Structure 1
Amino acid sequence: MKYSRLFTALDEGLDLTGTLHILRPPAGYDLAGLSDVSVESTFYPDHQYWQAMGMVGDGTGRGATLLVVPRSKTLARAMISDAIAAGGLVIVDGQKTDGIEGIYKDVRKTNTIMGVVAKGHGRLFWFEAGTAPDWDVTVTSPDGYKTVAGVFSETKIDIGSSQLVPHLDALKGDVADLGAGWGFLSREILTHEGVTRLDMIEADKVALDCAVLNTNDARARPVWTDALTFSGGPYDVVVSNPPFHTIRAGDPDLGKGFIATAARILKPRGALLMVANRHLPYEAELDAKFARVEELAGTGAFKIFRATRPKR
């Protein structure tokens, strides 16, 4: 039988006392049969999974903290530094592709490692909190915006989003920014006086909090949810720069799901304005969901679509 790194660590002597608070575990993360657990997740689909399991909590009274290393190196370092500052037992679990080996080497320079499990192309290790490594966890946000570690395009405005802006002409009515991120497109949408309402729909709660700060407009409303299952509206316009991965590997079906949602939440005469990487195969899905699809001026790297008359 194949066991997770956490299961193996418990079998090899990891001693837990009190509640184990777990930061950002993906849905389905193997808890090795533990029941005294609280989970904190900022990605909406993961949050919903753990909420259904009855495990969502803020870590009050925790006996130990387990961090599942995210893709962002800066975020991972900030999370570990915060856990060390909080004190107690700290457990770190991550894949080699997410930089766990470098993290392990840095942490063991300032803390005594109590145990290690290396398997499944990753590593889990634990230690009693001592001193955090001398990491730089600051984020240089794009000029005039607030971003934080771990959000998509945290240090610069995404090129695709910037190329969509000139096509946001004469926006009016109720608008949705589907996959709003930290709010660059949302702020641009709100420069149009004809916009009466903007719903910023985003699965990453941390990015959505930034979007609220970056728009600061009474017409804007944050909606923390999964864009693939969202059923609000109806809207006059949907604007979107959909993601094409939630993990390291790309997944074009994500963008196709955004197109399906846009068609579902638009008014009969509504329009979708969308930008995508040139190589992603979205044309067939657009044709299936909309009666009229136009490719607007793009570049060698990006394509921009205007789709109208959603099919019901």
Structure 2
Amino acid sequence: MTIADTSRLLQRQPQQPWRDQATLVVNPADNDLATTDNSAWLLHAGFQTSWANGVCCARLSEHWQRLPCKQVLLYVPKEKALLAYLLRQLAMLAEEPTRIWLVGEKRSGIQRLLKQPPTILSDLQKTAVGNHCVLASASLQPSRYPLEQDWLTLTYDGIEPALTLRSLPGVFSQTGVDAATRLLLQQLPPLQGSVLDFACGTGIIGCFAQRQTAVTQVSFLDVSPLAIAAARCNASDTGNSKFYLSDGLREVAHTERFNVIVSNPPFHRGLATDYSIAEQFISESHQHLHRGGQLFIVANRFLPWPKHIEQHFGHCETLAADSRFAVYRGIRR
């Protein structure tokens, strides 16, 4: 696995207490610190196999009643709300002031954090700069807050019928239905049978599918435990929902087939552009469709998904397009 620039900055430090003492690593960008002594709070399902003491969950309190280590290293995410959420969760489990290091790319939220630190961080100071990244240290103060504060209520009123869903920080989309997903939902024909909502985020596509009477089961899949928590909250409670916390389709059984797979697939991993996520998804989705099953994708028009769909499905149909996005369909023959 490629070592992230943030981890390269950590490697360059003359003193590395996160290697010398057991450390809780939060939101790691790679497996560089996946030692037997360190624990991890993972926000990406792809890291689960590498961290023996890692948990991939929406709330740290789901697995620990107190911080499992006496010091914390936090890889700072780009989203301001997600960073605040992670810090609150850590402060909830801190029983005493705890040393915390924060590392992030300059274009992430760490510069803003240094200018406007939250009250639960005292003695916050920059300790190193390099590789276009910043390392800082602080003392994390114990704090309590109502867990209900974390949840957002979003009304998706650009579709029929309108949906009101709940979400958590860092889950796509934070401002309601995005323009690409709206275009996709407007173009979907009546669905039936089993449906997979890939990279589900809040679960808006799957929840939309569950409102159709001919749909028998909806599966929600995402790499983020926060997204899966939101999708569980939003999905119908009629018993026809399944949930996969999975990096790609690896947690879906090779023998499992769907009538429909729908997605607004990501093309970023963190702050970096990454086409491999959607490329692998398109190639693997063919084998997870019944004969006659349909793949629907919405994407920015500049992305090369049509040629990948045609490569694996033998054709690619453009159902709709505007100045920014297009909706594509492939059918397994």
TM-score, normalised to structure 2's length?
Answer: 0.80
Question: CA, structure 1 residues 101+209, in 2 after alignment: closer, same or farther (shift >3 Å)?
Answer: same
Superposed CA deviations along residues 10-29 of structure 1, whole A, max 9, x for unmatched, are: x347588963111110223x
Q: How far, CA to CA, are the matches of 1:273 and 1:138 in structure 2?
A: 32
Aligned mate of 2:27, from 10, 24, 28:
24
Say how many residue pairs are matched. 299
Please give the residue correspondences for 1:124-143 in structure 2 after superposition, counting only pairs within 5 Å. 124-130=135-141, 140-143=152-155
Moved more, 184-193 or 140-149: 140-149
For residues 173 and 96 of structure 1, the distance between their equivalents in structure 2, rounded to whole angstroms, comes to 46
Is 1:79 the counterpart of 2:86 in the alignment?
Answer: yes
Poorly superposed stretches of 4+, deviation over 4 Å: 13-18, 57-60, 137-140
For residues 30-69 of structure 1, the aligned pairs below 5 Å read 30-31=32-33, 35-50=36-51, 54-57=52-55, 58=63, 60-69=67-76
RMSD across aligned positions (CA): 2.8
Deviations 1:236-291 (A, max 9, x none): 11111111111323233322222112112001221112211111111211111113
Aligned to 2:227: 207
Residue 116 of structure 2 corresponds to 106
Pairwise CA distance, 1:83 = 3.1
Indicate the residue corresponding to 1:190 in structure 2.
210
- Secondary structure at 1:264 match in 2: helix
**1: distance between equivalents of 2:210 and 2:16?**
56
CA shift in 2, pair 1:181/1:15, >3 Å: closer
1:117 corresponds to 2:128: yes
| Corresponding residue SS for 1:273 | strand
| Cα displacement (A) at 1:204 | 0.9
The amino acid across from 1:95 in the alignment is E
**Percentage of pairs with the same residue:** 24
The answer to whether the Cα contact below 8 Å between 1:27 and 1:49 also exists between their aligned partners in 2 is: no
Match of 1:272 in 2: 295
Relative to 1, partners in 2 of residues 1:268 and 1:22: Cα closer, same or farther, differing over 3 Å? same
CA distance in 1, matches of 2:261, 2:302: 22
Q: Compared with structure 1, are the counterparts of its residues 81 and 289 closer, same or farther at alpha carbon in structure 2 (3 Å cutoff)? A: same
How far did 1:228 drift?
4.8
Q: How far apart are 1:149 and its partner, in Å?
A: 1.0
Letter in 2 for 1:163: L
Report 1:167-186 matches (<5 A): 167-186=187-206
2:236 to 188, 212, 216: 216
Could you give the per-residue CA deviations for residues 150-174 of structure 1, whole angstroms, max 9, x where no partner exists?
1122222121111111333221111
Distance 1:190 1:130, change over 3 A: closer
**What residue is the counterpart of 1:235 in the other structure?**
258
TM-score, scaled to structure 1: 0.85
**What stretches of structure 1 of length at least 5 have no aligned partner?**
none
The change in CA–CA distance for 1:117 and 1:262 in structure 2 (over 3 A counts) is same
Residue equivalent to 2:160: none
Contact 2:77–2:83, Cα closer than 8 Å, also in 1: yes
Tell me the residue number matched to 2:158: none
8 A contact 2:77–2:270 mirrored in 1: no
| Contact kept in structure 1, 2:22 and 2:37, CA below 8 Å | yes
Which of 131, 144, 152 is the matching residue for 2:172? 152
Q: CA–CA distance in 2 between the matches of 1:16 and 1:295? A: 51
SS in 2 for 1:107: coil
Residue 268 of structure 2: aligned partner? 245
